[in-house]
Structure 1
């Protein structure tokens, strides 16, 4: 399922949930194969924030 577009927290949360579900069922997110669920979640957050046009705070 394609990711939703939008800047709201609800949209970002939904996209993260979709990507993590894809990792759990197929073992991959897009074309990448994260080694662990923790890495998959980090990648899902990055993809969702990028889609929303926001950056992830590293402080």
Structure 2
């Protein structure tokens, strides 16, 4: 089975994780310190994507459809 992410993309994620652990990783516009492991991974993948490395596209949001279904079920 083929790799989902390139090795260079994994290195970007690893670098972001190390920055988070050191307490120097900051998020986008607000510039707040990142504490979440998941958010650090997302930042690493986003940076890898911007550099043109092999990373799958972001998953599309399916939130609205599930909310509509929940509303219909309540009626």
More displaced 10-residue stretch of structure 1: 20-29 or 10-19:
20-29
Instruction: Provide the C-alpha distance between the structure 2 equivalents of 1:11 and 1:50, rounded to a whole number of angstroms.
Output: 13
- Provide structure 1 residue ranges, at least 5 long, that are not aligned to the other structure: 1-7
Q: Is contact 1:12-1:52 (8 Å) kept?
A: no
How many aligned residue pairs are there? 52
1:13 aligns with 2:1: no
- Provide structure 2 residue ranges, at least 5 long, that are not aligned to the other structure: 61-75
Question: What's the Cα RMSD here?
Answer: 2.8
Q: Give the TM-score normalised by structure 2.
A: 0.50
Rg larger for:
2
